[in-house]
Amino acid sequence: MLLPESCSVKVDGVECRLPPAHVVSVQSKDGEYMLAVVCDDHIAGLKGRLRVLQKEGKMPLGKIRFQPVIAVVTDCVTGIEEDYVEIELKRGVDSERKA
């Protein structure tokens, strides 16, 4: 899943520029819904705000979950010459490389 590059919280109308550290969702009887992403600096404030929104009926009732963001990096094939050579050498097969 592709996440926003920065925290979802705004303070006095100014967007937080810190990277997200947690995915925020609510588990209700109908399913689980992602609400936001939040940095470590704003997690406590968002927890309180979400509880208030649930009490006011502006957000589904259910368990509020904060799951840590885990970065996954892959060594993907991008189609450059080195990728084709590596595939041919490691797998022992001919590639569709343009000579």
Predicted local confidence at residue 25, as pLDDT: 95
State CA 85 to chain mean position distance: 33
User: What pTM does this model have?
Assistant: 0.66
- Token code pair at residue 36: 């936001």
Reference 52, options 43, 61, 41; nearest CA is: 61
Domain segments of the chain: what residues?
Answer: 10-91
Residue 71 sits at the vertex; the CA angle it makes with 25 and 85, to the nearest 5 degrees, is 140
For residue range 4-13, list pLDDT tens digits in order: 889 999 999 9
Q: Is the dihedral of CA 43, 7, 16, 57 positive or negative?
A: negative
For residue range 13-56, list pLDDT tens digits in order: 999 999 999 999 999 888 999 999 999 999 999 999 999 999 99
For 15, the 3-state DSSP assignment is: strand
Tell me which amino acid residue 35 is: L
For residue 71, what pLDDT band results from cuts at 50, 70 and 90? confident
